[in-house]
Amino acid sequence: MFRFFENLVDPYVDYEETDAPPRKLWPFLGDYAVPFRRIFILTAFMSVVVAAIEIGLIYYMGRIVDLLDNDPARMWADHGAELIAVAVFVLVLRPILQGFDVALLNNTILPNFGTLIRWRAHRHVLRQSVGWFENDFAGRIANRIMQTPPAAGEVVFQAFDAMSYALAYMIGAAILLSTSDWRLLLPLLLWFVLYAALVKWTVTRIGPASKAASDARSMVTGRVVDAYTNIHSVKMFAHHDLEVGFAKEAIETSRRTFQKEMRIFTIMDVVLVTLNGLLIVGVVGWAMALWMAGEASVGVVAAAAALTLRLNSMTAWIMWALSSFFRELGVVAEGMETIAQPVTLTDRRDAEPLALTDGRIEIRNLSHHYGRSSGGLNDISLTIRPGERIGLVGRSGAGKSTLVKLLLRFYDPEKGQILIDGQDITKVRQDSLRRQIGMVQQDSSLLHRSVRDNIKYGNPGASDDQMIAASMQAQAHDFILDLSDPEGRRGYDSRVGERGVKLSGGQRQRITLARVILKDAPILLLDEATSALDSEVEAAIQETLYGMMAGKTVIAIAHRLSTIAQLDRIIVMDQGTIVEDGTHDALLAQGGLYADFWNRQSGGFLAMDMEETPA
């Protein structure tokens, strides 16, 4: 039975992805709710049915009180069949209908609606550009992805479990009282007006207060995750107290926003108890007055008393449900600040996969300043022939990393073009472009998965034999066999920790090299590929790197000039422009900036004095 309800909606159903999700709250939720429309209609109907049954039971209790006023000897003879039918309904049909209603909520909607939102939101966020992620905290992004789905699920749950049920119940209560005596409606209507005013007062304040509290919680998460992610820096600089204070500031802000939110609930509870007292005295007192005047039966008084006591117990629940509804809406609205942001770096509708034939790279009048007036690249042009290996050198901030990011299309250039085999990379599919490029970065962070998963990330379809061959080529196989983790996994099955923290820098770099070797892409980008290696390992890896370069178009960034001296050409950049271009020997003979770098090296590293602002 559970499986039937759980499978009524597939949270992973195919849908049309959009680069610009709705930015307003209700259209945003409505977009996710499309697969649930029929279920929502059925659930709303069942909420009305359940409320009607509850009202009917109260009505029938009043009828039983009136029946007890008759001759006991005739009771069973006159009403036995009716009583049996009601008993069967209460014992059999009512649980079935109630169970159907609860199963729709608990087994169909709640597990699947949140899953659908989290799945689609994660897919949307992963499509964002690298620059988008660089402008936010990973912890805050993850927090919003995690807290928005359950909040949206709670919104839907309260809408059907409380709000639609309560509305149907109140309408049913009004009908019940009016059939007994229309005058009993007067105190109920007066109470309802005052209750509605209290609801309006509460929800207009709880939404903003909830959003402020949610923002504050996200700030706490962001700061805490930031400290944990950079725990080595925290420990190295002995800044435990600084981080505690930094977190305390956010935690205190969260406490204060939560206090303001809770004040609203306290005021609401006190006023609600007062209003419910007026309801009980007004309806029950009037019913008793009508009975004393001979205008109402004892059953009417009993039904009115049961109804008002039921409303008394329900109103706090309804108010809390409404408050929870709008509080969770505030959480969803806060999550939308991340989830609903449009994807700005997109493929064209007519984009085709990159058709790489030779690996020729042409850079034409390329400029990019990250939206600023300085930094980045200034109108550079460069042609890299198929299979050519070039070195890229320059001070920090010269534009080397910017050029690599544009080549990978992490950003679209503000001016100019990059063409690969004659194809503008902004007009081909991003994934097809990046599949043709192998990249070894200076920051060789790894996924918190096994060594095997990390290496095969370069080529998930590779065999274990191919993986091991790549590891051996990267001088990584021997140390991998000696690895183990706290769960007892060893070798290629051992986990490397978040960003590979369980490994040394050199070990991480060699696993990264193995991953790129396994990918075997025709274009190779090396950004300080040997910076984390000791001299002995670097000497062994150098041969591996030159082997990797064979037949590939290569761009290698290095401060250690000896690592690129044997390349076909060396490009020297300064302040976003290309200032020198030639072989190692030609540039030394030229006596320019490259020769100055070479002469001023200490231990083989490029002198970093007179550094510019990083690109």
Q: Could you tell me the two tokens for 273?
A: 């108890």
Q: Could you tell me the two tokens for 183?
A: 């005058």
Q: Tally Cβ neighbours within 10 Å of residue 416.
A: 16
| Residue 252 falls inside a structural domain | yes
Within this chain, do residues 332 and 453 fall inside the same structural domain, yes or no? no
Rounded to an integer, what distance in angstroms lies between the CA atom of residue 520 and that of residue 522?
7
Rounded to an integer, what distance in angstroms lies between the CA atom of residue 497 and that of residue 486?
11
Cβ contacts of 365 within 8 Å, gap of 6 or more: 379, 380, 381, 415, 416, 417
Question: 27: domain CATH number?
Answer: 1.20.1560.10
| Number of Cα atoms under 13 Å in the Cβ half of residue 198 | 25
| Residue 365 falls inside a structural domain | no
Rounded to an integer, what distance in angstroms lies between the CA atom of residue 360 and that of residue 390?
12
Within this chain, do residues 250 and 116 fall inside the same structural domain, yes or no? yes
| Residue 413 falls inside a structural domain | no
Within this chain, do residues 334 and 470 fall inside the same structural domain, yes or no? no
| Residue 380 falls inside a structural domain | no
Within this chain, do residues 25 and 154 fall inside the same structural domain, yes or no? yes
Within this chain, do residues 62 and 186 fall inside the same structural domain, yes or no? yes
Within this chain, do residues 215 and 86 fall inside the same structural domain, yes or no? yes
DSSP string, 148-213: HHHHHHHHHHHIIIIIIHHHHHHHHHHHHHHHH-GGGHHHHHHHHHHHHHHHHHHHHHHHHHHHHH
Tell me how far CA of residue 234 lies from CA of 31, 222, 247, 486, in angstroms: 43, 15, 13, 24
| Residue 547 falls inside a structural domain | no
Task: From 563, 600, 596, 568, select the one nearest 581 (Cα to Cα).
Answer: 568
| Residue 290 falls inside a structural domain | yes
Largest CA distance in the chain: 124
| Residue 209 falls inside a structural domain | yes
Which residues does the chain have with pLDDT short of 50?
Answer: 602-605, 607-615
Question: 503: domain CATH number?
Answer: 3.40.50.300
Residue type, 596: D
Please tell me the predicted confidence (pLDDT) of residue 610. Answer: 40
| Residue 356 falls inside a structural domain | no
In the chain, the number of structural domains is: 2
Within this chain, do residues 303 and 160 fall inside the same structural domain, yes or no? yes
Within this chain, do residues 132 and 277 fall inside the same structural domain, yes or no? yes
Domain end, chosen from 490, 520, 550, is at 520
Parent domain of 464 = 446-520
Residue 230: DSSP 8-state: T
Q: Mark out the alpha helices in 293-357 (DSSP H runs).
A: 298-339
Rounded to an integer, what distance in angstroms lies between the CA atom of residue 615 and that of residue 605?
20
Domain end, chosen from 488, 520, 552, is at 520
Within this chain, do residues 150 and 291 fall inside the same structural domain, yes or no? yes
Q: Could you tell me the two tokens for 521?
A: 């892409």
Rounded to an integer, what distance in angstroms lies between the CA atom of residue 169 and that of residue 455?
61
Domain end, chosen from 485, 520, 555, is at 520
Please tell me the predicted confidence (pLDDT) of residue 223. Answer: 87
**What is this structure's pTM?**
0.74
Q: Could you tell me the two tokens for 592?
A: 């320019």
Q: Could you tell me the two tokens for 441?
A: 């970065």
Rounded to an integer, what distance in angstroms lies between the CA atom of residue 568 and that of residue 581?
11
